[in-house]
Chain A
Amino acid sequence: MALRVMVVDDALFMRNMLKDIFVNAGFEVVAEADNGEMALGLYQETRPDLVTMDIVMPKKSGIEALQEIMASDPDACVVMVSALGQDSLVLEAVEAGAKDFIVKPFKQDNVLEIVRRITG
């Protein structure tokens, strides 16, 4: 069984890039969402092994979505995706239970390293 991943980002470009990285690594991308609210619904539906979550998104921010996911599933494995210079948001997300974070621009190896570390 391959690792099941959900990709959350409001930019199609970022979603596609992350999807390619995961698919190439043999993971299965089971869901993608372009805002926090959609992410919440899809999370309950698909229960992925891993979520990559953009921080700044319309409707519901990545941090709010993270908080709600963690409340419903304390074992959730969420990795935040942030831009450079969003240190305080990243800090907030880590406090809220994010397992790790990726800072844009990122490299494929970097993403996989982080994912493999937290999914053990």
Chain B
Amino acid sequence: MDMSQYRGLFLSETREHINNLNQLVVTLEQKPGNRETIDALFREAHSIKGMAATMGFDRTAQLSHHLEDLLDGFRDSGEVPSSTVDYLLAGIDLLDGLLDDLQSNQSERSIDVFLAETPHGKPTQIAETPVDNQGECSLAAAIEEEPEASTVVVEANVFQVLVDLAEDTPAAAARGILILRELEKSGVLMSSKPDLSTLRSGAPCQQIHAWLRTSLNWMHIEEALLRISGVVKVRFIDDRRKQEGGDRDEGTHTIRVRTDLLDQFVNLTGELITNRYLLNTATTGRDWDQLTQTLSQTSRLIEDLYHHVLQARLMPLENITGRLPRIVRDLSRKTGKKVTLHLTGGEVGIDRAILEEVTAPLVHLVRNAVDHGIEKEGTVAVSALREKDLVLIEVADNGKGMDPEPLRQKAVDRGLLTSLQATALSDRDALMLVCQPGFSTAEEITEISGRGVGMDVVKAAVSKLGGTLEIISSPGQGSRFQMRLPLSIAIIKILLVSCAGQPLAMPISRVQRTLDLPTSEIRNSGQKRVFRLGEEVVKLYSLAEALGLPEVVAGETTWVVLIEIQGRRVGLQVDRFLGQREAFVKCLGFPLNLLTGLSGATVEGNGQVVFIIDPQSLIEDGQLFTNDCPGEFDALS
């Protein structure tokens, strides 16, 4: 029997079991004598063992058997000694590592050291477990347990991985080679800067920039990289080139879709086919009433289909919040703080692409809350809730809160703002300063939240998804970090504008508002143009200039799109507004994807391709944006 067809299912299901194991152990640590938890742990380990043995993954089977044995002993005694908790967690981590190996088609790593460390000194064997009919039965049973589930194939991701080395790393080139080797273990290393031959020549190396195709979770890769001596920071950027696809066999993973949803797809597709014939008949017979009616029916069907596809892509948030109890537990240990974690809204569904992208920011916010928010003892609450077509994910702590005043001061010290600007900044905007690159609230970057992503990366990740980040905090009142994310990224609302006579689009989520200003209200301040918006002085940029298109001179009215860049409002001048609509975003292929400021394209009803611009990166990368604007206030007062 060809077992490889079950591989994807085995991997995704085992990951779920591992997630459950982690949660259960943390629960157990709080209630060591809870019989139900011990039983549940035993069952989880047992399930993994059965599946792994059937697949012929000996070490995974052996390790889960070992854990199962250990837990069985506790079933008899009715209690898990607290000294064993760390051992159990180490075992679960090792299982996770074995799964990483299997996922990247590597041979399973050694488990001997772990087995040797067993509290009872009793290494176990499973070599005699038959991988025969009996095993196949157990797998079949495992599949039948989820009769409502089917498997859908999803592509692997290409990540850009940035690995920073400490400045004084000795033999950095050799270190670089070890980093490339570690990356090769996690997937297909497509290219790197510097590449292997450059490193071999002993070239200096402070940072490795690698393109990696992998189906592993970035967290596992990050963890492995951070264990390498000299590595101080690891960042991941999801790469658009994943569209080019490739090695499906290695890069696929599976998600489960309810069969009733699949049935719905078939039904809807059937109805669409019928509608196509109706449209044919109506066109041939020039029956305009029939045509109009069928067209409106078709658009209802398409909307319905879209809704169902979205449903299939929605995954409950607990897929990522499930790992938080373990993370918080480990952090509490490390920091010596007593932190309670509250999770609510784990059942809220969100597009799986967004879910993957939001994992890193969420984990970072939780780490931050424990590390910087909570002082000695406190609560971190992670909640999710659906707000119309948005999902709100909030990380709240009841710790010391954030004071906007020192943040203003720091921004002035760093030369990011003039003292006048800092004073004019609202408290809300001052808090958002922590999202500036390199702006850290902690005096010292601690090991915990100083690693991996910073708040700037959290903000960037959320914006990239078309979402927003908001910080609500005041001294002594705790902090709340709110991420508002769209349900889907493929279909977004866009604002259509005309610029130098060409239609262009921008995601509505990036737009604060639109204005039609009397041109006379625009003043010149040195090289720049500014206008007043209430109490605020807002800088005005020309979209045409940013794109290198010919300028169109505004008439009596200037059309302005108001956006936010680095926490400050700026205006973007366009020819005129063309309206709003929903758009299906297509990613740009090479070489268009290299152009700054373009995030994709969509096709108009008349077949015209309209580029979707990312106004923030257009202005920032074009270096049109500067924070220093001396004299602005004088010019207007």
Residues of A at the B interface (CB closer than 8 Å) are 1-3, 26, 49, 82, 84-88, 90-91, 93-95, 100-103, 110, 113-114, 116-117, 119-120
Contacts and interface: CB of A to CB of B under 8 A. Distances in A.
Interface in B93-135: 94, 97, 109-110, 112-113, 115-117, 123
Contacts of B177: 91, 94-95
A103 B171 contact: yes
29 contacts: A3-B113, A26-B117, A49-B112, A82-B170, A86-B171, A87-B171, A87-B172, A88-B202, A90-B170, A90-B171, A91-B171, A91-B173, A91-B174, A91-B177, A91-B200, A91-B202, A93-B174, A95-B200, A101-B171, A103-B171, A110-B229, A113-B227, A113-B229, A114-B229, A117-B227, A119-B110, A119-B113, A120-B94, A120-B113
A95 B200 CA distance: 8
A90 B174 contact: yes
B149 interface: no
Nearest to A119: B113
Contact of A87 (B113, B123, B173, B229): B173
Contacts of B227: 113, 116-117
Interface in B165-179: 170-174, 177-178
A33 B593 CA distance: 57
Given A1-B112, A91-B202, A110-B229, A120 B171 contact: no
B97 A120 contact: yes
A120 B117 CA distance: 13
Q: Which of B94, B110, B112, B178 has the most CB of A within 10 A?
A: B178
Nearest to A85: B170
Interface pairs A-B: 8 shortest CB-CB: A1-B116, A90-B171, A103-B170, A87-B171, A94-B174, A120-B109, A90-B174, A117-B227
Interface of B: 94, 97, 109-110, 112-113, 115-117, 123, 170-174, 177-178, 199-200, 202, 227-229
Contacts of A116: 227
A2 B109 CA distance: 17
Given A113-B227, A117-B228, A87 B112 contact: no
A110 B228 CA distance: 10
Q: Which of A84, A87, A102 has the most CB of B within 10 A?
A: A87
A49 to B, nearest CB: 8
Given A90-B171, A95-B200, A1 B123 contact: yes
Contacts of B94: 120
Contacts of A85: 170
A120 B170 CA distance: 23
Nearest to A92: B174
A58 B202 CA distance: 26
Nearest to A90: B171
A103 B172 CA distance: 11
Nearest to A116: B227
Nearest to A104: B170
A1 B124 CA distance: 12
Contacts of B200: 91, 95
